[in-house]
A and B are shown apart, each in its own frame.
Chain A
Amino acid sequence: GAVVSQHPSRVICKSGTSVKIECRSLDFQATTMFWYRQFPKQSLMLMATSNEGSKATYEQGVEKDKFLINHASLTLSTLTVTSAHPEDSSFYICSARDHGRAGNTIYFGEGSWLTVV
């Protein structure tokens, strides 16, 4: 079964509004989670590293004031797209590693489709 869960799976918002996407680790604690963005027919692009209890680390070219990341607990990271524009419409995916699971494996959430109209 899924070990990383995202919510919502699909969201439509109006231009100029903000939208929050949640990423939860199920049955394990994740001090670090990662957020990716994927446009149609393209690969996943890493946006930022979400660190529990501290500031997120953003990849070059990603606006930290636009994509707010909060990792307030060991099982939850949130990505808030502020003042959304149609060009922010994309598939957003998070990942986390279950340190307690054999194999040193990183798992991904199901993804969240954001459409800004």
Chain B
Amino acid sequence: DAKTTQPPSMDCAEGRAANLPCNHSTISGNEYVYWYRQIHSQGPQYIIHGLKNNETNEMASLIITEDRKSSTLILPHATLRDTAVYYCIVRSFTDKLIFGTGTRLQVFP
């Protein structure tokens, strides 16, 4: 699986958009970009995934660059409950997910 690079930490004011970047420059054509988050002492929670096109669901939006070498997860209106570690993962045809170090997002009042 391709490696991903994320900033170790970010801060965001409550109510503002949180934009979390991820680099995956070695991604292959059939590999998806997945985002999960982990709140302290819980299992990872699925957020969103995409292949080429931008995606949006009730939790977040995913913007993937045209060359697919990077992506951005957007939480449009961050709340205190969005404080968590966010993992960007590149997934191939297997169900095996390899986690990087993630970004620790701190949402402050």
Contacts and interface: CB of A to CB of B under 8 A. Distances in A.
Given A91-B41, A111-B41, A105 B97 contact: no
- Residue in A96, A97, A103, A108 with the greatest tally of chain B CB atoms within 10 Å: A108
A25 interface: no
B28 interface: no
Nearest to A6: B43
A78 B49 CA distance: 28
B43 A109 contact: yes
Interface residues of A, number: 25
Interface of B: 32, 34, 36, 38, 41-46, 49, 87, 91, 95-102
Interface string A93-117: 1011100000111111111010000
Given A43-B101, A44-B38, A44-B99, 20 more contacts: A34-B97, A36-B99, A43-B99, A44-B44, A46-B96, A46-B98, A93-B44, A95-B44, A95-B95, A96-B95, A105-B46, A106-B34, A106-B91, A106-B95, A108-B43, A108-B44, A108-B46, A110-B43, A111-B41, A111-B43
A43 B95 contact: no
Contacts of A43: 87, 99-102
Interface of A: 4, 6, 32, 34, 36, 43-46, 49, 91, 93, 95-97, 103-111, 113
Contacts of A34: 95-97
A106 B1 CA distance: 16
A83 B106 CA distance: 39
Contacts of A97: 95
